[in-house]
Structure 1
Amino acid sequence: MTESNLSWIEFLSQNGARMAAGSETEISGFGTSSLPEGQMDNFIAPLTDLGLIAVTGEDAATFLHNQLTNDVEHLGPHDARLAAYCSAKGRMLASLLVWKTGDEILLQLPRQLQVAIQKRLQMFVLRAKVKLVDVSGERPILGLAGTQAQRELKAYFPELPAMPFSKTDSDAGTLIRMSDADGIPRYQWIAPESIAKPAWTALSKALAPAGAAVWRLSEIRAGIPQITLATQEQFVPQMINFELIGGINFKKGCYPGQEIVARTQYLGKLKRRALLASVSSAAAAGHEVFSSTDPRQPCGMIINAEASGPDQAECLVEIKTAALNEGTVHLGSVDGPVLTFRTLPYSLND
């Protein structure tokens, strides 16, 4: 079979990709090599754990504007935005990256949520002129980080997007500048397969090929939370700092859960936030954390976690801010490993 006839996953497999345990889509790494522990610089990762929904039709922008927490009607051609899709109770069903290319509005979210979220959105289309299509298999997503990555990308995008959540389009696809992680520039490149395959061959010689977990670790270090199956309907957006990273527009019209999201913002001080932490243990989204001063009930929950070394994990943790004032915070139970909290790359403003 020729390279052009291979699917993206098949192509990567022929180039040394290892599949994550229990997954048919997520790449865990390449060959027997891996990035040095903690390295976040100058790597390239196929983000096969992410899915894409293309939304088209003359009512597409208005429809999404009325469903999501951010402004979609005024989404510019050089913009990408985070947004939440909430239940009527204001709890997050999904965190999304949203952008517009040509006549399409693209929604990016974890593949594990995509089918259910697409089906739920479809229920509310009714008579609107809107079409939702899963295009995940057609448009490979690459995550790239580092100054060397910037240099390599200029062969495909002579003008790189300069600010976080800005984007550019060319014949090579869409390039989105993401938030820096530890001061390291990061990009997502959404490319046609015909471009992605030769680009991977070239770029994986200049940059360290990595699995999706390395990219997710860089997202944690950038303070960008992602809702997964384990955390659906657990958080109002502000509990995981979503308004601080541009995921909520408080001036737009109604959307599911809008009243609760607005009330959370304007009535009293926010009592729960997302913080960066590390722990000498394995950790996973949905694990509860406990304060030594109140061991009877959890004081928070792991939003996202990824291994950063043997028996080491880095996490984004949603937590009662009062629990940080005294005592220690533990994973799983009050007898579990202690979490060490770190400074976020942005201010909480509380």
Structure 2
Amino acid sequence: MIALETSFVEQMPACVSAKLDDYGIIAVSGEDAEGFLQSQLTCDLRQLAEYPFLYGAHCEPSGKAFSNFWLLPSSQGFLLIMHRSAIAGSLAQFKKYGVFNKVDIEDVSDDWFITGLFGTETDAFIADLNENTLQLKVGSQPNQYLLLSPATISTDYPQAYWDALEIERVRPQLTADNSQQFVPQMLNLQALGGVSFDKGCYIGQETIARMKYLGRQKRALYRLSGEAATIVPGTELERKVGDNWRRTGTVIMAVNRSENQQDLLAVLPLDIEKGTPVRVRGDEASLLEIHSLPYQLG
């Protein structure tokens, strides 16, 4: 079995399959489903004519995100795959506006078996899948897939392996712990193709556009790793300023790679220097290193 401490983008495994227990799905269907979602989400559903699925965020009117997700069309409408804990916030917001549209909105998480798959030799695994399984290729080097099946899929690894690869890619999965705290650009979603700036109006669009065009972005998502006790979403971080420590950011997701070794994503000041010492607030023995981003923020 491959070790969790492995860097998966540097030492690509042959095949890792993980049951994604922490993921869930919202289904939106009905006559107005596409137009309704176009007015709610940061992604542009017109791009589904070119792409099989989209990445995006669902925000409140102030521009802060309830959730981020992968969206794909289904036989009855659209499916939004997100962290299960974030579903309640998004579902309530959708239903608030959905009463003015011909749409059906429901949590269908229990109707699907959600699997994460990645590696250099995934073809055989995919070939054995049920013909009704939906496949989303969400990454390369190594190839990475989200699989949605109405039937059980046998898996070999826990979700921490999938989360570790997502952290290496610096692609966040927003949980309820940080819901309605961050504008999508603070989570780097614009760099990941999750924000359209020319689709027209949607909920939260004014704040998101101002942050882009008026240069008001002050925070961004970074990967950090190092020695610390267990870290969970919402944990606060501090950076060293002279001889003192000052609050500097918030953890979005984290994985314990090995004993006392943490790998995490956190929202930090955009201009923080890579060599700045960072620690977990309340854990004076911890020390975290900031990594370079694998993409341009744009």
TM above 0.5: yes
Of 78, 86, 92, 1:105 maps to: 78
2:269 aligned residue? 320
CA contact (8 A) 2:225 2:262 kept: yes
CA contact (8 A) 2:64 2:181 kept: yes
Of 239, 253, 260, 1:291 maps to: 239
1:176 aligned residue? 136
Secondary structure at 2:35 match in 1: helix
CA contact (8 A) 2:164 2:255 kept: yes
Gaps of 5+ in 2: none
TM superposition shift of 1:328: 1.9
- Read off the aligned partner of 1:173 and give its amino acid letter: T
- Read off the aligned partner of 1:293 and give its amino acid letter: V
CA contact (8 A) 1:76 1:100 kept: no
- State the alpha-carbon separation in 1 of the partners of residues 187 and 89 from structure 2: 22
CA contact (8 A) 1:323 1:329 kept: no
Q: Which of 1 and 2 has greater Rg?
A: 1
- State the alpha-carbon separation in 2 of the partners of residues 116 and 88 from structure 1: 13
> How many corresponding residue pairs?
290
Gaps of 5+ in 1: 1-33, 157-169
TM superposition shift of 1:108: 1.1
Q: Does 1:84 align with 2:57?
A: yes
1:192 aligned residue? 150
- State the alpha-carbon separation in 2 of the partners of residues 276 and 49 from structure 1: 21
Q: Does 1:139 align with 2:108?
A: no
TM superposition shift of 1:296: 6.0
Identity of aligned residues (%): 28
1:303 aligned residue? 252
1:265-276 matches, within 5 Å, as 265-268=212-215, 270-276=217-223
2:5 aligned residue? 38
Secondary structure at 1:75 match in 2: helix
CA contact (8 A) 1:35 1:210 kept: no
- Read off the aligned partner of 1:330 and give its amino acid letter: R
TM superposition shift of 1:341: 1.6
Q: Does 1:259 align with 2:219?
A: no
Q: Residues 343, 322 of structure 1: CA spacing in aligned structure 2 closer, same or farther, 3 A cutoff? A: closer
TM superposition shift of 1:234: 1.7
- State the alpha-carbon separation in 1 of the partners of residues 285 and 57 from structure 2: 32
CA contact (8 A) 2:25 2:79 kept: yes
TM superposition shift of 1:171: 2.9
- Read off the aligned partner of 1:143 and give its amino acid letter: G
CA contact (8 A) 1:293 1:326 kept: no
Aligned-residue Cα RMSD (Å) equals 2.2
CA contact (8 A) 2:67 2:87 kept: no
Q: Residues 100, 277 of structure 1: CA spacing in aligned structure 2 closer, same or farther, 3 A cutoff? A: same
- State the alpha-carbon separation in 2 of the partners of residues 336 and 266 from structure 1: 41
Segment of structure 1 superposing worse, 79-88 or 335-344: 335-344
TM superposition shift of 1:293: 0.9
TM superposition shift of 1:113: 2.1
- Read off the aligned partner of 1:186 and give its amino acid letter: Q
CA contact (8 A) 1:55 1:104 kept: yes
- State the alpha-carbon separation in 2 of the partners of residues 103 and 114 from structure 1: 20
CA deviation digits over 1:103-122, x for unaligned, max 9?
32001111122133212211
- State the alpha-carbon separation in 2 of the partners of residues 229 and 56 from structure 1: 24
- State the alpha-carbon separation in 1 of the partners of residues 68 and 163 from structure 2: 14
- State the alpha-carbon separation in 2 of the partners of residues 327 and 152 from structure 1: 43
CA deviation digits over 1:171-199, x for unaligned, max 9?
3321001124xx31111111121xx34xx
- Read off the aligned partner of 1:324 and give its amino acid letter: E
CA contact (8 A) 2:210 2:216 kept: no
- Read off the aligned partner of 2:259 and give its amino acid letter: P
- Read off the aligned partner of 1:348 and give its amino acid letter: L
Secondary structure at 2:48 match in 1: coil
Give the alignment's TM-score, normalised by structure 2: 0.89
1:21 aligned residue? none
1:31 aligned residue? none
CA deviation digits over 1:227-280, x for unaligned, max 9?
112111221111111100011000112122111100001112633211111021
1:22 aligned residue? none
Give the alignment's TM-score, normalised by structure 1: 0.77
